[in-house]
Amino acid sequence: MLTLRLQRQGKKKDFIYRVVAIDSRFSVKSGKVKDILGWWNPKTDKFNLKKEEILSWIKKGAKPTDSCYNLLIKAKIITGEKRKIKIKKKEKKEEKVEEKIKEEKEEEKVEEKVEEKKEENLSTTPS
């Protein structure tokens, strides 16, 4: 199945994206691009897209990714509502350590309560 994706190009902190048609089984970095359909610079928010070619790929059954879909709507090539983009945030090591400390404190509190109940039960039961 064909997809329309954004392919990152350029230097480390100075980059642009190409809009490409590629088979969904391949990575964008594989270089097995069927067609280059335009570019987008997210820093200046400028873009240049080949409208006729994009529409012909969509008619052939190519499905754009969420980011590419939103760019096509912005360029008024297709109509519809923008899609929400799912971004996974990486957890920092500090946050993980803080969470572990909180969990350990909670476990200690639970253990203390259990020990207190055992002591109360032992003191209240006649021997």
Distances (CA, A) of 28 to 23, 35, 49, 77: 9, 12, 18, 22
Same domain, 65 and 123: no
Same domain, 104 and 46: no
Helices (H), 60-92: 66-74
Q: What's the CA gap between 31 and 38, in Å, rounded?
A: 16
pLDDT at 29: 75
Supply the range of the domain harboring residue 63: 2-74
Same domain, 36 and 98: no
How would you write the pLDDT of the chain (127 residues) with one tens digit per residue?
Answer: 888 988 888 999 889 998 998 887 877 777 778 888 999 898 998 989 999 999 999 999 999 999 999 999 999 988 888 888 877 776 666 777 778 888 888 888 878 877 777 777 777 666 5
- Structural domain tally of the chain? 2
Same domain, 70 and 99: no
